[in-house]
Structure 1
């Protein structure tokens, strides 16, 4: 049943992703955000089921809860302390239910960014034998993967939280403060460090990823990355887009080199 639901969410995410460009042509800001919340909900559901399938259920849920607890709390605090946020406005013209979906959608973004970076960089670093080198490579690689997405999505997230833009105002293309990026870089680094320690101590680091699930995850990551790149270009984040393309190109090469090496090692063991 779990595998069936996960397959349904996977194809739902892909179909929703394919229909995205058609929706962009006609939709207003509110409908676009609803579309993204639906897309992210499907992706989030797939990632959660993936984690609780590849790990023991309690380990998968712990990772999800930690990511949501940390990032969701920070986003809510930033909304309440920012006088441009819709949460600080006295008069709200939009539906109250829709307001609640915005921070929830942001939380889904963070779960997908952190979880996909964790799973894929865990796979890359599994072949590194020395535990310290493996841990350092994992934390740095996964953190950079998450941060490269944050570089693109930060302007979109900041505008989503602005009351004026949600009411049909102009999109602000101003550069995001380096303080924001530095703060989130530290948060991402600490979260990935915690996940590494938690997975190792629970003796789940060396669990082999199921081949078909791994292919699906790569497709989900590819679609999510394409949307992030498209939004980054829309927000005129050209340097961040270049960094994202360069880093993810190198990441893809390293991933497939690592996968081939692990498959060759598995074949040698079978022959012995």
Structure 2
């Protein structure tokens, strides 16, 4: 059996210089040899030369497994970095989400002060409502829209959340809010609202928000759940289409159901 030393047993390690997340196997021009400290090789006094060859062969296989494991870890790390960069740069034309309500322990202590998603402020760790809202705002494309459900408590909370809400209102990404009836969700009985965001508003919608009060519009389907009927949905959609089309506010406003409010009016009640 040959005892020619393997490259993996020499005093040389290999460093990946490939610029992409999937480096090829050796040999490759993107790899270069880097001197390293010698690794002690198992030595054994053996009467039989074949035994020594077997030991060297085992060592080679062990080194080979270690090398493949290191390359695999490097590939996984590069893939994760590549994925994080892509997610950070993601811009969506439309976002539709059933947001977790009042999510606690979301990891506020791990967020850096310069995180671009939280330009309105870092929400408290015991409630992640404004984590999601700011997350959607950040990832919208220039003409993107978002629609999502949110616990109604997010619209009236104080402290840090109240300060963040005021900054978001002043930033003017919200263009519609629907107050929904209780028991709309089978698993929770808390009141929820549906919020609509736009990254940029047309001139006639700027500093205005359409409020729709739909708490009395529902059809019970069980003791624990209610739903919107097609007629209810059509009535709500009609108001939003009128608002987006730039119809006069006098035509959109309906006592007890729909109201176009200015940012100044909202701030006076907040």
Same fold (TM over 0.5): no
**Which structure has the greater CA radius of gyration?**
2
Shorter-normalised TM range: under 0.3
TM-score using structure 1 length: 0.23
Of structures 1 and 2, the one with the larger relative CO (CA 8 A, separation 6+) is 1
TM-score using structure 2 length: 0.23
